[in-house]
Amino acid sequence: MADAADRFELESYLIKKAPPKAFYIPNFISEDEEKFLLDQINGAPKPKWTKLSGRRLQNWGGLPHPKGMVPEKLPRWLEKHTTQVGSLSVFNTVTPNHVLVNEYEPGQGIMPHEDGPLFYPVVSTINLGSHTFLDFYHPLNKREENTEENSSSLTLDERYFMSLLLEPRSLFILTEDLYHNYLHGIAERTYDVVTDKVANLDACKNTILGDTLQRTTRISLTIRNVPKILKFKINLGR
């Protein structure tokens, strides 16, 4: 178990079959830590949850906005893990100050997207509960190699090129070219079939090609840094 960020070399967890640069760390937290986090999240006051069409979520640390974020102190039960993840080399001297908690029931997902300029260009996600597949796609403006055809003529399935299997208690980190130049999303499925498109399968010791993995409720902790901080409240209305 990777119970302290400074006890291992991050480069040894590089996903070599993916574009640069992503890392996958199995068993980043223990089963007891997972249970504790789930208890804290599920015990949060109802107003803390925001319900979307495909899932519900919690914002901790403030509400990111193009004008800037008015920071709120993270609760102690999150600080341990934001500090641990923030000590990794990919964050340099930047300190994570925001955690987005997403809950996915079986069959729920999120459309392919990029995280955009609101955040420091590193996404780190601790996975709780169920596994999921995180799927990656060429963006609409990416030209296919050795051809003049623009990929805007391709369907979403044709733009898909790989998945990552995110297991319970693992940590996934997205950086560099893979962060800036590709889209990622979660398909609305109740189960996933393991194919040769799973780029980190070698790091998933209990899973083999051809396995069918049934989804249960998954909660993700997406730990990031919002660089633009405000010391006063802003009017978010029109």
Share of the chain above pLDDT 90, in %: 79
pLDDT in tens, 206-216: 999 999 999 99
Res. 146 pLDDT band, cuts 50 70 90: very low
In a domain, 100, yes or no: yes
Amino acid identity, position 238: R
| Residue 84 CB neighbour total at 10 angstroms | 21
Q: How many CB atoms lie within 10 A of CB 42?
A: 10
Model-wide pTM > 0.75 = yes
Instruction: Report the pLDDT value the prediction gives residue 141, as an integer from 0 to 100.
Output: 67
Please indicate, yes or no, if residue 232 is contained in any of the structural domains: no
pLDDT in tens, 157-206: 999 999 999 999 999 999 999 999 999 999 999 999 999 999 999 999 99
Kindly tell me the sign of the dihedral angle through the C-alpha atoms of 23, 133, 59, 76: negative
The mean pLDDT of the chain is 90
DSSP letters spanning the chain = ---SGGGS-GGGGB-TTSSS-EEEETT-S-HHHHHHHHHHHHTS-GGGEEE-SS-EEEEES----TT-B---PPPHHHHHHHHHHHTSGGGTT----EEEEEEE-TT--EEEE---TTS-SEEEEEEEES-EEEEEE--TTPBPTTS--BGGGS-HHHHEEEEEEE-TT-EEEEEHHHHHH-EEEE---SEEE--TTBTTGGG-TT--TT-EEE---EEEEEEE----B-SS------
Question: What span, in angstroms and rounded, lies between the C-alpha atoms of 47 and 40?
Answer: 14
Res 217: pLDDT = 98
233 falls within a domain = no
**In whole angstroms, what is the distance from residue 92 CA to residue 227 CA?**
13
43 pLDDT above the threshold of 80:
yes
pLDDT tens for 12-31 read 999 999 999 999 999 999 99
Does residue 63 belong to any structural domain of this protein? yes
pLDDT over 50 at 2, yes or no: no
Distance CA 94, CA 48 (A): 26
Residue 21: is the preceding peptide bond cis (ω within 30°)?
A: yes
Helix axes 76-86, 31-42, angle to 10 degrees: 130
Alpha-carbon span 29 to 32, nearest angstrom: 8
Looking at per-residue pLDDT, the higher value among 26 and 143 belongs to 26
CATH number for the domain that contains residue 165: 2.60.120.590
Which tens digit of pLDDT belongs to each residue from 92-132? Answer: 989 999 999 999 999 999 999 998 889 999 999 999 999 99
77: pLDDT strictly greater than 50: yes
The residue type found at 33 is E
Q: What is the pLDDT of residue 53?
A: 80
Q: Give the domain range for residue 127.
A: 13-139+156-224
Q: Is the pLDDT of residue 150 over 60?
A: no
- Tell me, what's the pLDDT at 111? 93
Adjacent-strand bridge partners of 18: none
Q: Is residue 108 part of a domain?
A: yes
Q: Tell the residue number behind the tokens 């997972």, with chain if given.
A: 34
pLDDT at 235: 53
Domain contains 234: no
- Is residue 5 a part of any domain in this protein? no
CA-closest candidate to residue 220, choices 94, 60, 72, 91? 60
Give the phi and the psi of residue 14 in degrees, each rounded to 5. Answer: -65, 135
In a domain, 1, yes or no: no
Number of domains in the chain: 1
Q: Residue 152's pLDDT band (boundaries 50, 70, 90)?
A: low
